[in-house]
Structure 1
Amino acid sequence: MLMYINLAAVIIVVAYALYLFFQMVYSRYTFIKLGKKPNMEWNVGERVRTVIINGFGQKKLFKDKKSGIMHAILFYAFFIIQIGLIEIIIKGFSKGFEYPLGSFHKYFSFLQEWTTFLMLGAVLYAFYRRYIEKLKRLQWKRDAKAAFVVIALTVLTTTILLTLGFESIMLEREANFVYAPFSSLVLVVFGFVGPTIGAVLFYVFWWIHLLTVLVFMVFVPQSKQAHELFALFNLFFKKAGPVGRLLKIDFEDETLEEFGVGKIEDFTQRQLIDLYACAECGRCTNMCPASATGKTLSPMNLIVNLRNHLTDKGALITSRAPWVPALAFSADTSANQLALQASGGATIDTVEMPQLIGDVVTSEELWACTTCRNCEDQCPVMNEHVDKIVDLRRYLVMTQGEMPSEASRYFQNIERQGNPWGTNRNERVKWREGMEDIVKTVDEVEEFDVLYWVGSMGSYDIRNQRIAQAFARLMHEAGVKFAILGNHEGNSGDTARRMGNEYLFQDLCAQNIAVFEQYNVKKIVTTDPHAFNSFKNEYPEFGLEAEVVHHTELLRDLLQQKKIVPTERVEEKIVYHDSCYIGRYNGMYDAPRDILSMIPGVEILEMKRNREDALCCGAGGGGMWMEDRQGTRINLARTEMALETNPTMIGSNCPYCLTMLSDGTKAMEVEEDVQTLDIAEIIDRSVVYTKGVVN
């Protein structure tokens, strides 16, 4: 009779828990479906590979090796323990039940117990990292929900071992420390209670384990643990193509009345999956240059706030409860959710929702972003923060007409003169004065192999003109047949796009592609990583068909082919700064270092944050043209990192980075001791020219 009562109770509890679980999961699904349908590129092979490498391979988690090992244990232990869970549940109704594996069952027991033990160790280490070591990126997580996860997983794992141990006492088994070491330890320690008490304790811990599993199951989709459900989907449906490529707006679509994202449902469904996939691990915020220098932007908080807003608004739109009232520890409980519960039938029309921009996300947060992708590179579930920020900027700029005064001035200067300063567009070619014999425009040559896109910085900025001149000398020495557009050159539009002015970007893009086609351009080289990224990864969507290379790529090839031979010693200790748009956007880290290693006398130094972890200089996303009003200037933080290596020179591959780092050395009054040079300028110092060029 007791067995049937136990069975009935289990069926009722499990059925109710499963009902709540699927209700929660389905509610999140319906909230995601509120977003716009994305244009998916179904490259299944690439998507499966992403899931294998970053999901099952846990690649990004191992950027922090300690946390990576811990999480890998938790991840794989979860699957193994689920297999054992079914056997444990059946044990409650069939005394001594075991999977019919014959002699192999002992190996299953061995795997189950060691997996459970390792999982318990990983959970305790997570507790240590959060509450004792007090890992910086986890400090904000010392709350009841985080504690509940640790407690629940601790109870879940220990009750497995206790249940198995007391089962052995109940069945009067002998200890087997080879294949069942931990349950045997329970058997040895508590064996004195005898089989009757052992049976009672077996069912006590069996019920505790079952209830813990069910409660945690219902908790998961309502908390940050939802990433356990959505992360693999997020990886699979990740935006295909080059990283950081922004979504194109179809301005010919006459149904569009607003541009950008002004409401949560304006995001695509693919973007909304990100919100529930977030693990709230803090890795993104920990690496964010804006957050590190005292700005209000926290990439993690941005995602969490958007998620909570989606849950609130989705519940009102779909009339689907976002959480289960019975669970006091439920996550994301907000005023709107409480209003929904109290009203018994509230709708989007009767409950006032906060404004997406202003209440959920502030404009200060949006304009603090440098679009460096440090957050995205760190994210273990490959969330994309930058595209959401740019979409929100688009709404402010193109729909609301709201932007910092510096942004407005920047757009006006680009529209009127094609450069950020508003300098006369006809002065774009003046940087080559005295070099007209080696630097010719497309109108002055019959043919050329490479178009050198100088960019606004190289054309107008006095300091960066020296980079353009050095690079031109090196190409001439190597026999590269190149030309420049001269006054036909415009602006790449990269910064305008990332500041939210997609219309201006597309206008500039169309103009530039028309010029490239007019002069039959097949290969483009540029010293500007931002233009390089736009031409290579974004312009093809608008029709560009040309090979695009960065000047460090071309220079490395020329050095390796011995077309340029650096012979003069450059006795400098050079610390190299990785620019975001060459590094994290395009994965190019070796070319500049290879170049420096080929210059005699150079000693290469590395900052504590280098390569994919390199800190942004602060110029990206329009930061070059706007005042840094909050906290510390990002360029000063990066300059400090460079100076920690005691260099005599800071090397760069980007005119924006060079400017920011030069400003940093000036602000710290070390510009006379530590020079800031582009890679091309450093080579220029080592080359003895043989073709009549004086450097």
Structure 2
Amino acid sequence: MSDPREITRVLFENFQPQAIYLFYAFGYAAIAVFLYGTYAQIRKYRRGQPDGSWGELLHRFGDMAKTMLTHRTLVRRDKSAGRAHKLIFFGFIMLFLGTVTITLEYDFTARLFGWHFWYGSFYLWFSLILDFAGVGVIGGLLYMMYRRKWLHLPKLDYTRPDRQPGDPDYDRSGYRREDWAFLWSFILIAVTGFILEATRLVWLADRPTVWDYRWWSPVGALIAQVMQGIGFSAEGAGTLRSGLWWFHGLLALTFVACIPYTKIKHIFTASASLMFRDPLPAQRLPKVPEEQESAGYKYITDLTWKQLLHLDACTKCGRCHEACPANAVGAPLSPRDVILSLREFANNAMSSGTLPDKAELDIHGKDVGQVFMETLWSCRTCMACVEICPVAVEHVPIIVQMRRKLVEDGDMDPILEKTLGAIHKTGNSFGDSKRKRPAWTKALPFEVKDARKEPVDLLWFVGDYASFDPRNQKVTQAFARLMHHAGVDFGLLFESEMNAGNDVRRVGEEGLYELLATSNIGTLQSCDFKSIVTTDPHSFNTIRNEYPDFGGEFEIQHYTTVVKQLIEQGRIKLKKKLDYRVTFHDPCHLGRYNKGYDAPRDIIKMLGCELVEMGRNRDNSFCCGAGGGRIWIPDPVGLEKPSANRMKEAGTIEGLQVFIVSCPKDLTMFEDALKTSGFEGKFVVRELIELIDECIEYEEWEDEVVAAEI
């Protein structure tokens, strides 16, 4: 029986001392290059602004570890790529731990303390596990190669929508070369590792402690059998092993040295990005610090250290590019390209020992690496990019911060500038007198309470479009009837309500937003109520997530949650069931922003409708195009509107009768799109409130009022 201590693998067997010393010299050089690159990256991050993401580190680390171990962000909407990455990730971890184990035994425990553990059963199981890990890595890498070469996925095409052919930074073929270099170098390391294992087995086939245990290294053993079958001798295998050993070792050391300088660094930057992610990245935008002289970002050094880290975390996977509604309709925006442009800019300007002059740090403009004004204004701030990013890059806050600088400099569409002026003057985006805000209540057969003058249970924050737009006013009146019918004690702020500011803030007009927010908060705090309801998801988002930063913490619900509760409590009685074939559009600010997916669908089922989901639904819903202030900015002539794109998607549903929305801006955008996209007469766009209203069991006088309005 063999001595267990002889069942092992000697690392430098048959190597001259000079060769070993040379290998260690290369190893230390690779580590030095790696450490210097790491230092340069950290120096770059330190040149960014402070960021308050250091709290709850233990919780953050646990969430990051869970995300990485489950791959939950990678398998979403691309399960094949997620599974392949799992093989690469876990295989790499095992191979890395194996290398660390060998180094620990050879260079520390054995050398310093004479303690050996890498032999016998431990070594055999170690060898078996690493063989499976290597197979996993190779399998995952081969699929990634196949995916890039033969699937021709648009999201992996680095063609820039914000540049024209011939522009100096239009060509991104360097990224494709980097991707392939990464894949080939990684797979060569794994493949040569197996061949090296096989040559060792053939070379030492006369040793029972090697050959008799070869199947504990099944891949190497299989290759060794083939090598022997084609006539490889022990001497030939030994010669091949010597050259291959150096090739494999130097390739692995080069891989390590290149980590801080190439996409390989995402191993670390993606982990850190996930760890420091903001749970409300676009829902709650940052205030302008009091000590900051101007709003927004003008220079690359205005970004925080975390945002600079986000730039390096991007793996160019293209998921944000694919999800972006602006990009889908041909606008000059790809969230991925914004991040990559800023990353290139940061690497060029901030990685050297000293920073260049301020003028060379400006990230706005038409020069190489700068972000175009048209690109920034194309964003709908729908959060589709942030929501799908597997490594937690926060695109929207960066874009809004850059918009703040554009607004401060007056670089915006004249119509947008006029709208912002109207909001500042009148408190609403329509520019109408404040006294007209509650005008819609005059058509109601009952008085609506003034929450400024008497206590109410539910304070209804109506919003601009629901108050001033004639089409939406009908929906608003219907909701008032629902509340009155259900016996809800509700009231309004009447003319004291101002635009909630959600879209004003996402446009980049932070000063006006703070004026609106503090005014509304002061008014709300002067009233006596239990909670707030709103039919406007945009108002819902900012009151819920952003007003607390200004001292206004209120309990607020979207109307779908309130109505669902009232139906379940029997306070709203449905007199009939609808047999419509319908689809539902998730508003960005109710769905992606605030996870309000279920209540609207539950109500639709209660109404008896047949709900058929569009392909893009829930967190993958497609923006109507109104967000981020785009409802106030005309789209370029000839460019498809996101709302028209969505109509085409709905139009593929056979027998569709009703396209349901639950947002005033959605109603406006989609009714316009219905007329221009060729689907008018095939189905209708309706607010969910209108369908509920159709099923209500009103009193006789209420029926007369409804009939008169119809």
Deviations along 1:10-60, whole A, 9 cap, x unmatched?
111111111111111111111111111112361235413420232222111
Deviations along 1:192-214, whole A, 9 cap, x unmatched?
32222222222222222211212
| RMSD, aligned α-carbons | 2.3
Cα 1:149–1:669 shift into 2, 3 Å: same
Q: Which residue is 1:102 aligned to?
A: 120
2:308 equivalent to 1:295? no
Deviations along 1:658-680, whole A, 9 cap, x unmatched?
11111111112333331111111
> Following the alignment from structure 1 to structure 2, what is the Cα–Cα distance between the partners of residues 685 and 220?
62
Deviations along 1:460-484, whole A, 9 cap, x unmatched?
0011111111111111111110001
> Following the alignment from structure 2 to structure 1, what is the Cα–Cα distance between the partners of residues 384 and 359?
37
> Following the alignment from structure 1 to structure 2, what is the Cα–Cα distance between the partners of residues 409 and 518?
31
> Following the alignment from structure 2 to structure 1, what is the Cα–Cα distance between the partners of residues 604 and 476?
18
**Is the CA contact 1:574–1:603 (under 8 Å) kept in the aligned structure 2?**
yes
Question: Which of 144, 149, 153 is the aligned partner of 1:131?
Answer: 149
Partner amino acid for 2:557? Answer: V
2:188 equivalent to 1:174? no
2:631 match: secondary structure:
helix
Deviations along 1:441-461, whole A, 9 cap, x unmatched?
225x63210011111101100
CA apart distance, 1:98: 9.2
Q: Which residue is 1:675 aligned to?
A: 684
Q: Which residue is 1:406 aligned to?
A: 415
Q: Which moved more, 1:422-431 or 1:348-357?
A: 348-357
Alignment of 1:504-543 (within 5 A): 504-543=512-551
Q: Which residue is 1:145 aligned to?
A: 178
> Following the alignment from structure 1 to structure 2, what is the Cα–Cα distance between the partners of residues 90 and 557?
62
2:38 equivalent to 1:28? no
2:157 match: secondary structure:
helix
1:448 match: secondary structure:
coil
Partner amino acid for 1:500? Answer: G
Deviations along 1:565-612, whole A, 9 cap, x unmatched?
223232211110011111111111111000000012x11010011110
CA apart distance, 1:691: 7.5
> Following the alignment from structure 1 to structure 2, what is the Cα–Cα distance between the partners of residues 441 and 354?
50
1:676 match: secondary structure:
strand
> Following the alignment from structure 2 to structure 1, what is the Cα–Cα distance between the partners of residues 263 and 636?
32
> Following the alignment from structure 1 to structure 2, what is the Cα–Cα distance between the partners of residues 650 and 175?
70
**Is the CA contact 2:342–2:363 (under 8 Å) kept in the aligned structure 1?**
no
Q: Which residue is 1:334 aligned to?
A: none
2:282 equivalent to 1:249? no
2:573 match: secondary structure:
coil
**Is the CA contact 1:559–1:565 (under 8 Å) kept in the aligned structure 2?**
yes
2:628 equivalent to 1:621? yes
**Is the CA contact 2:300–2:362 (under 8 Å) kept in the aligned structure 1?**
no
Question: Which of 570, 574, 577 is the aligned partner of 2:578?
Answer: 570
Partner amino acid for 2:564? Answer: R
Deviations along 1:192-251, whole A, 9 cap, x unmatched?
32222222222222222211212222222222232112111111122255753101113x
2:410 equivalent to 1:392? no
2:292 match: secondary structure:
coil
CA apart distance, 1:562: 1.6
Cα 1:504–1:353 shift into 2, 3 Å: closer
2:641 equivalent to 1:604? no
CA apart distance, 1:289: 0.5
CA apart distance, 1:106: 2.2
Q: Which residue is 1:324 aligned to?
A: none
Q: Which moved more, 1:132-141 or 1:530-539?
A: 132-141
**Is the CA contact 1:244–1:386 (under 8 Å) kept in the aligned structure 2?**
no
Q: Which residue is 2:435 aligned to?
A: 426
Cα 1:178–1:596 shift into 2, 3 Å: farther
Deviations along 1:377-425, whole A, 9 cap, x unmatched?
1111111000000000001112x22211122011111011111121122
Partner amino acid for 2:540? Answer: F
Q: How many residues align?
A: 659
Partner amino acid for 2:156? Answer: L
Q: Which residue is 2:71 aligned to?
A: 58
Deviations along 1:617-662, whole A, 9 cap, x unmatched?
1000011111111732111111111111131110111111111111
CA apart distance, 1:99: 5.2
1:284 match: secondary structure:
helix
> Following the alignment from structure 1 to structure 2, what is the Cα–Cα distance between the partners of residues 14 and 41?
34
CA apart distance, 1:561: 1.4
Deviations along 1:51-74, whole A, 9 cap, x unmatched?
023222211101111011011111
- TM-score, normalised via structure 2 length: 0.89
**Is the CA contact 2:95–2:134 (under 8 Å) kept in the aligned structure 1?**
yes
> Following the alignment from structure 1 to structure 2, what is the Cα–Cα distance between the partners of residues 352 and 39?
27
1:620 match: secondary structure:
coil
Q: Which residue is 2:4 aligned to?
A: none
Partner amino acid for 2:389? Answer: C
2:628 match: secondary structure:
helix
Cα 1:49–1:556 shift into 2, 3 Å: farther
**Is the CA contact 2:204–2:211 (under 8 Å) kept in the aligned structure 1?**
no
Unpaired runs of 5+ in structure 1?
A: 320-346
**Is the CA contact 1:92–1:203 (under 8 Å) kept in the aligned structure 2?**
no
Q: Which residue is 1:337 aligned to?
A: none
**Is the CA contact 2:455–2:527 (under 8 Å) kept in the aligned structure 1?**
no
Alignment of 1:79-98 (within 5 A): 79-86=93-100
2:217 equivalent to 1:199? no
- TM-score, normalised via structure 1 length: 0.91
Q: Which residue is 1:237 aligned to?
A: 276
CA apart distance, 1:190: 1.1
Cα 1:682–1:46 shift into 2, 3 Å: farther
Question: Which of 355, 359, 373 is the aligned partner of 2:383?
Answer: 373
> Following the alignment from structure 1 to structure 2, what is the Cα–Cα distance between the partners of residues 242 and 266?
18
CA apart distance, 1:170: 1.8
Question: Which of 305, 308, 313 is the aligned partner of 2:341?
Answer: 305
**Is the CA contact 2:281–2:394 (under 8 Å) kept in the aligned structure 1?**
no
Partner amino acid for 1:235? Answer: L
Unpaired runs of 5+ in structure 2?
A: 1-13, 159-172
2:221 equivalent to 1:184? yes
Cα 1:147–1:99 shift into 2, 3 Å: farther
Q: Which moved more, 1:384-393 or 1:131-140?
A: 131-140
> Following the alignment from structure 1 to structure 2, what is the Cα–Cα distance between the partners of residues 396 and 16?
47
> Following the alignment from structure 1 to structure 2, what is the Cα–Cα distance between the partners of residues 186 and 680?
69
1:143 match: secondary structure:
helix
**Is the CA contact 2:584–2:659 (under 8 Å) kept in the aligned structure 1?**
yes
**Is the CA contact 2:102–2:118 (under 8 Å) kept in the aligned structure 1?**
no
1:454 match: secondary structure:
coil
2:557 match: secondary structure:
strand
**Is the CA contact 1:573–1:604 (under 8 Å) kept in the aligned structure 2?**
yes
> Following the alignment from structure 2 to structure 1, what is the Cα–Cα distance between the partners of residues 19 and 691?
79
> Following the alignment from structure 1 to structure 2, what is the Cα–Cα distance between the partners of residues 649 and 176?
69
CA apart distance, 1:552: 0.7
